[in-house]
Structure 1
Amino acid sequence: MKKIISVLCLSAFLTPVAMAASPDFPHLEVSGKGEVFVVPDMAQFSVDVVESKATAEKAKQAADKAVTGFLARLEVQGVKRENINSGNIRLTPEYRYPKGKKPELVGYKATRNITVTVMDLNKLNGYLDKALGEGINRINHIELKTSKEKQYIEAARLEAIKDANEKAASLAKGFGTSVKGVWKVSYHNNYSQPVLMRSMAMDSAANTAESYQDNQMVISDSVSVVYRLN
């Protein structure tokens, strides 16, 4: 765990409007921040199934066939259905634009996006190998995550509280006084920064097999506190 010193905000620098809402007793405003660096143990990746055919029906059938094959390959590898999200199909016409002539309809493109959550990071590369097949030639992105996010958020929150308390005590001591207690706490939303891997074409999956390890994601939390001073 690593604490990051944040900027101190003293009430002496508040605007007149803010001062009107400030407490009428000696006080100190401090922001605390905590960060936890985590080694990911799970991942999420998405692929696009894209098929172009002469008719919308044939494009849809081709896309559905590719998706069915992909889901079957994942099932063989032990991926649970609840960890797969296959988006709705999108059909768009495709035109040719001859010079000086009206656009000509040449077919339809069917697109489906599938997102897969990988609970065991060690199996990620195997899933990617299975993903790249008929109808799927590109992996959009790979996002490394942690299965213990709630636990690490709590740890980051405690670090933020500790950071605020330590800074308040130090500042109060420096001005010849001490902290009497907490008057107000403003909690900020926590922030989880997953590791985003680069997109991959069909022939590049093998080259990234070792790149999922030794990555770190950052989970941070922050709090603003108004302390009473003696």
Structure 2
Amino acid sequence: MSGISSSMRGAVVTLAVVVGLALAYVVGTSSAQADEPDPAGPASSETITIRGSGSTSVVPDEVHFDLSVTTRAEGLDDALSRSSAELSTAVDALVDQGVAREDVRTTGAQMRPTYRRVKGQAPEPTGYSVTQSVRVEVALDDAGDAIAAATKDAGRALRVGGIRLAVSDETQATKEARDEAMADSRATAEQYAKASGRRLGRATKIVEPGADGYEGYQAQTLSSADASKAFALYAGEQDLAVQVEVVWELL
């Protein structure tokens, strides 16, 4: 019995030692992990918000313009028919000039009654007025001929307006302007960080309030008689601008 008791006591002691070592390993590992610094660094609760701006030059390669027709008649059907006929004549002339039909889209149609007004008397209905309009997009080099063709055989009811120079693809120019805007924001933020004895951290938020984009050139509305005369459009260079608002960490 005493031999068995001694053996059991040895086993118990051995087991206790093993368990103790295991616990020490777990505690030591947890402690080491808790002390290990975050590779990303501590999160900063202090930030600074800086706006940056950037721009790049673009050369317009398209012209957008509106064609509109307003007709009046005693009956609505008659006014609508005349307006549609006038506008169709202009659009067909554009297509004959080489403008794709998918580059001509309807932008508005308005029908309203007209009245004769005499002071002291109730307004007297006289008929209807109908206005229809389309938006046309053409290459810059073809714009002058396209406008002249659209107005050549049109009646006096046709108007050309909203003439605007545009850039067909602003993707690359916008990227360059954004890069410049971010660099501008970072440079200013670094200046403030240095002045306050801090280091600049990462950008935690970036907002583009709305790229200014290329505003383009817009001309006044022309009558069909004026627009039918040959005229030239010169693109030149314009600026495409972007603004960003960036929140930076201060470390």
So what's the TM-score if we normalise by structure 1? 0.78
Inter-CA distance 213–190: structure 2 relative to 1 (3 Å threshold): closer
Question: Which residue identity lines up with residue 162 of structure 1 in the other structure?
Answer: A
Amino acid aligned to 2:172: Q
Name the amino acid aligned to 1:224. V
Q: Which has the higher strand share?
A: 1
For residue 42 of structure 1, report the CA deviation from its aligned partner: 1.0
Q: For 1:197, what is the secondary structure of its paired residue?
A: coil
- Structure 1 runs of 4+ aligned residues shifted over 6 Å read none
Aligned amino acid, residue 144 of structure 2 = N
SS in 2 for 1:113: strand
Is residue 2:108 matched to residue 1:78? no
Match of 1:55 in 2: 75
Secondary structure of 2:72 counterpart: strand
Identity of aligned residues (%): 24
For residue 146 of structure 2, the aligned residue among 127, 133, 158 is 127
CA distance in 2, matches of 1:109, 1:44: 26
**Deviation (angstroms), 1:36:** 2.0
2:56 alignment counterpart: 36
- Tell me the distance in 2 between the aligned counterparts of 1:75 and 1:211: 20
- SS in structure 2 at match of 1:86: strand
Q: Structure 1's 67 and 135: CA in aligned 2 closer, same or farther, altered over 3 A?
A: farther
Which residue of the partner structure matches residue 12 of structure 1? none
| 3-state SS in 2 of match to 1:162 | helix
CA–CA separation in structure 2 for the residues paired with 1:151 and 1:159? 13
Q: Show the counterpart of 2:166.
A: 145
- Per the alignment, residue 102 of structure 1 pairs with 122
Bigger Rg over Cα:
2
Q: Structure 1 unaligned segments of length 5 or more: list them.
A: 1-22
- Helix, strand or coil at the partner of 1:107: strand
Q: Distance in 2 between matches of 1:140 and 1:183?
A: 45
- Alignment partner, residue 226 of structure 1: 248
Mapped partners of 2:127, 2:46: distance in 1:
74
Structure with the higher fraction of residues in helix conformation: 2
What displacement does 1:105 show? 1.7
Q: Which TM-score applies when normalising by structure 2?
A: 0.72
How many corresponding residue pairs?
Answer: 205
Judge conservation of contact 2:54–2:180 (CA < 8 Å) in 1. Answer: yes
d(CA) in 1 for partners of 2:127, 2:45: 74
Q: What is aligned with 1:156? A: 177
Corresponding position of 1:169:
190
Shift of 1:166: 2.0
Q: CA deviation at 1:123?
A: 1.0
Following superposition, the deviation at residue 208 of structure 1 comes to 8.4
Q: Which amino acid aligns with 1:106?
A: T
Q: C-alpha displacement at 1:198, in angstroms?
A: 2.0
Give the unaligned 5+ runs of structure 2: 1-42
Per-residue deviation, 1:116: 0.7
Q: In 1, Cα distance between the equivalents of 2:250 and 2:207?
A: 18
Per-residue deviation, 1:26: 5.0
Q: 1:136 to 1:100 in 2, by over 3 A?
A: closer
Distance in 2, Cα, partners of 1:87 & 1:24: 51
Distance 1:160 1:55, change over 3 A: same
C-alpha displacement at 1:106, in angstroms? 1.7
| Native 8 Å contact 2:53 2:181 kept in 1 | yes
